[in-house]
Amino acid sequence: MNRKRWVALAIASVLLIISVLVEVIGALVSDEAGRWSDSWLAMMEAPFSEEVVQDGDPLKKIAVLEVNGVIEDAGEAEAFLSSPLYHHQTFLRMIEQAQEDEDVKAIVLRINSPGGGVAESAEIHDQLLKLKKKTNKPIYVSMGAMAASGGYYIATAGDKIFASPETITGSIGVIMQSVNYEKLAKKYGVELVTIKSGPYKDLMNPARSMTEAERDILQRLINNSYEAFVDVVANGRKLPENVVRKLADGRIYDGRQAKSLHLIDEFGYFDDVIAALKREHHLKGAQVVKYATDTPWSSLFGLASARIKPDSGTLEIARLLSRPSSPRLMYLYAE
């Protein structure tokens, strides 16, 4: 048998295997009429799934919502490139699901984050308060290694906050950063040409020094967001405003300090939070579920996507190019 026949035989074999796989998958996911089943379609469309963490009564569930990584609405393009730990729109849908599911009786907000965008943190906090107001479902917070700045901001929506003595939290404040390369540009003869409609259209232009008037404009924005942060902590933790202001100078606290300052309620890890919820809200025997972002497609194509992902250097360049250059107001603890 010559080479061409071997190639033809191999192609035919591959096509046969593919056709058999299509038939098998179709039989598994379709109904009796040959249409895609509603359950499979729902799984494909859902941005997250529900995984059982602890067995129990499915009519009495504790839902775990996890915030891992920087709280930032990066958009779909960057989500595809980097597969970030946190996806803002998906997390908002998780909150909505926990609110609408009548079998969910309580929520654990699991936070391991240095914070993130001012707008995103405020949106999460607002949606959590709406959930509590509409359903009266308790929200207990379980802090991981870090729940700082925006991570602490969203934690204040909880009815009770748990952390370990080693948890890094606090960093109550606002930051906006940019790079100024004016001297570097002059050294190498690089000129940034700007045509603008008004004197403040290019605030924080990286190619020139900032004026005092521009600094004042930006400081006012920072102050407004800072006041909102102080208000959220004072209301959420039931602390006097003047006390919060003394704590809110941007510094971080470990769990021991946070407990002594009443920024958290108790020491405890994830299992301790679950046990406290069950004990304090008559949820003995409740099933504990976690909303996970894995979908059928991720499990089906996970290996392939891992192989075609760009290297870390290329990925970082793609992130920089995909992000707008404009500085942002951030509730973020930047190491």
| CATH number for 162 | 3.90.226.10
Our count of domains for the chain comes to 2
Q: Give the pLDDT score at 327.
A: 83
Residue 95 falls inside a structural domain: yes
Q: Name the residue with tokens 């470990």.
A: 254
Q: Are residues 70 and 35 in the same domain?
A: no
Q: Are residues 3 and 58 in the same domain?
A: no
Residue 185 falls inside a structural domain: no
Residue 203 falls inside a structural domain: no
Q: Are residues 249 and 318 in the same domain?
A: yes
Q: Give the pLDDT score at 317.
A: 44
For CA atoms 65, 67, 68, 71, give the dihedral sign: positive
Q: Are residues 40 and 131 in the same domain?
A: no
Residue 304 falls inside a structural domain: yes
Residue 207 falls inside a structural domain: no
Helix axes 118-135, 212-237, angle to 10 degrees: 20
At 168, which helix (H) or strand (E)? strand 168-170
CB atoms within 10 A of CB 286: 23
User: How many CA atoms does the CB half-sphere of 224 hold within 13 Å?
Assistant: 10
Q: Are residues 161 and 285 in the same domain?
A: yes
Catalytic status, residue 196: no
Q: Are residues 30 and 158 in the same domain?
A: no
Q: Give the pLDDT score at 26.
A: 53
- Contact of 114 with 154, CB cutoff 8 Å: no
Domain encompassing residue 30: 1-45
Q: Are residues 246 and 163 in the same domain?
A: yes
Structure letter (DSSP) for residue 333: -
Q: Are residues 74 and 156 in the same domain?
A: yes
Q: Are residues 157 and 66 in the same domain?
A: yes
Residue 122 falls inside a structural domain: yes
Catalytic status, residue 201: yes
Residue 215 falls inside a structural domain: no
Catalytic residue of the set 113, 121, 149, 171: 149
Q: Are residues 167 and 61 in the same domain?
A: yes
Q: Give the pLDDT score at 19.
A: 60
Q: Are residues 30 and 96 in the same domain?
A: no
Residue 222 falls inside a structural domain: no
CA distance 107 to 65: 7
Q: What is the mean pLDDT of each run of 10 residues along the chain (335 residues)?
A: 59 63 51 50 64 96 97 66 72 96 97 97 98 98 98 98 98 94 88 92 92 96 98 98 97 98 98 98 97 59 44 48 67 83
* CA 12 distance to own-chain centroid: 46
Catalytic residue of the set 186, 201, 284, 309: 201
Q: Is 183 exposed, middle or buried (0-12, 13-18, 19+ CB in 10 A)?
A: exposed
Q: Are residues 136 and 261 in the same domain?
A: yes
Q: Give the pLDDT score at 215.
A: 96
CA distance 230 to 240: 10
